[in-house]
Amino acid sequence: MISLFITCHAFSLDMHIPVYCIESVEIFEGDKHGDFKNHPVAILSDGSGWKIHPGDHQKFSRWNREELIQIRKRTSSYWFKREHKFELYNYSNKETVRVMLVQYPFHPSYITATDTYLVDTIITPYTWMDAFGILHYGYSSTDIYHKVVYLNDGSSWVIKDKNEFSFFNTNDYVYIGFNSSHQGICPFLISGIQREAHWVWVD
């Protein structure tokens, strides 16, 4: 490990979005596919580790210990072969670097229980014509489900994207991040690490 910074502590910005400082920088040994060897990993004050995208190494090298860092979800529309799904946002210089989660915090959040429940049924009318040219009318129904995950810190989060239900299960570690926009604060959960990490917006 190459230690560049002294210890600092996380706190909440405006009592809503957690922010951190960089405690140290380590050298990544590579993922399970043998990729990304010798890339820098930012170790934040909560113990989490974020590998820096190779295109952002120089920018990251100019960041200082006292600067405040927020974990955010990347929101650009370019998705081809994206292993670095997240970004570190530097409040001091307004810069971002693309990152991959490679290590959970010292005291990680984890899912203690889940519950999936029906929230709505959408009825959709449709028509069809038989071989005799007679028009028929009918209705189809689609059930809408949400999934609640309960964490060890007592918080609960609602997942609305059914495609992500299977990636957030009891005993899984999760990381809670926040994006901010003109619409307000948008929390998301991360499950898994490295390029296999999954994320989902939550309420």
Token pair in block for residue 73: 């979800």
pLDDT given for residue 32 in this prediction? 86
pLDDT bucket at 6, cuts 50 / 70 / 90: very low
Q: What is the pLDDT of residue 21?
A: 93
Q: Residue 112 and residue 152: Cα distance in Å, rounded?
A: 6
What local confidence, expressed as pLDDT, does residue 14 receive? 59
C-beta of residue 73 within 8 angstroms of C-beta of residue 199: yes
H/E stretch holding 181:
strand 173-181
Q: Tell me, what's the pLDDT at 1?
A: 37
For 18-55, what is each residue's pLDDT tens digit? 999 999 999 999 988 889 999 999 999 999 999 999 99
Q: Which of 4-8, 164-168, 197-201 has the lowest mean pLDDT?
A: 4-8
Cα–Cα distance for residue pair 185/106, rounded to 1 Å: 25
User: What are 117-158's pLDDT values in tens digits?
Assistant: 999 999 999 999 999 999 999 999 999 999 999 999 999 999
Q: What is the pLDDT of residues 58-82, one digit of tens each?
A: 999 999 888 899 999 998 766 556 8
